[in-house]
Structures are given as structure tokens and as C-alpha cells.
């Protein structure tokens, strides 16, 4: 399955409790069949995170993985989220 992740490259807002972030893709690339989307989330605190998206995943899977990451208390700048 091939999914166009171009909509993820547009800036958007994410809100989690009192925290809010503006997300923007800084780079997308395909490596070994996996789509990599590198996102910058600016806010307090700011994060750079990469989604490594399998060829069988769709946009819904990627959004759900990013939401899970935002809810995770152990999230860190530079994390890689593998989307299967």
C-alpha cells in the first residue's frame, strides 16, 4: 500500500492539556521503502521527532502514533516513532 503523506507536511496545531505545539514537517524522504517524516513541534517544550512509516501504514496509523507519542510522559527531543 502506498500512501501520500504530503498532508502531514502542512503546519498544524496540537493541544495536550495546558501544552500546545505548532507542528511542521522539516523534511520527508523514503529510505529502504520506509517513509520518513521529520517534524518540528514548537511550543513549551519544543521537539524534533521523526516518524518512520512502513509501506503498509496509512496516514491514520501515523497520526495515531504521533498522538500516542504526545501523550507519553517519556517523550524526548529526537525520538523516532516507528509506524507499522
pLDDT at residue 1 tops 50: no
- So what's the pLDDT on residue 10? 57
Residue 49 falls within a domain, yes or no? yes
- Whole-structure pTM value: 0.78
Residue 69 falls within a domain, yes or no? yes
Residue 2 falls within a domain, yes or no? no
Residue 6 falls within a domain, yes or no? no
Q: How far apart are CA 75 and CA 72, in angstroms?
A: 6
Residue 1 falls within a domain, yes or no? no
Q: Name the residue among 58, 77, 73 with its Cα closest to residue 4.
A: 58
Question: Per the structure, how many domains does the chain have?
Answer: 1
Q: What is the mean pLDDT of residues 32-57?
A: 92
pLDDT band, very low/low/confident/very high, at 5 (cuts 50, 70, 90): low
Residue 57 falls within a domain, yes or no? yes
Range of the domain at 71: 11-83
Reported as type and span, the H/E element at residue 69 is helix 59-71
Q: How far apart are CA 39 and CA 37, in angstroms?
A: 6
List, in sequence order, every beta strand (DSSP E) within the chain. Answer: 12-16, 19-31, 34-43, 47-53, 80-83
Amino acid at each position: 500500500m502506498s500512501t501520500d503523506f504530503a498532508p502531514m507536511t502542512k503546519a498544524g496545531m496540537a493541544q495536550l492539556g495546558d501544552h500546545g505545539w505548532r507542528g511542521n514537517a522539516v523534511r520527508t524522504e523514503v529510505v529502504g521503502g520506509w517513509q520518513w517524516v521529520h517534524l518540528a513541534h514548537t511550543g513549551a517544550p519544543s521537539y524534533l521527532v521523526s516518524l518512520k512509516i512502513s509501506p503498509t501504514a496509512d496516514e491514520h496509523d501515523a497520526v495515531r502514533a504521533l498522538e500516542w507519542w504526545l501523550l507519553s510522559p517519556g517523550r524526548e527531543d529526537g525520538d523516532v516513532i516507528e509506524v507499522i
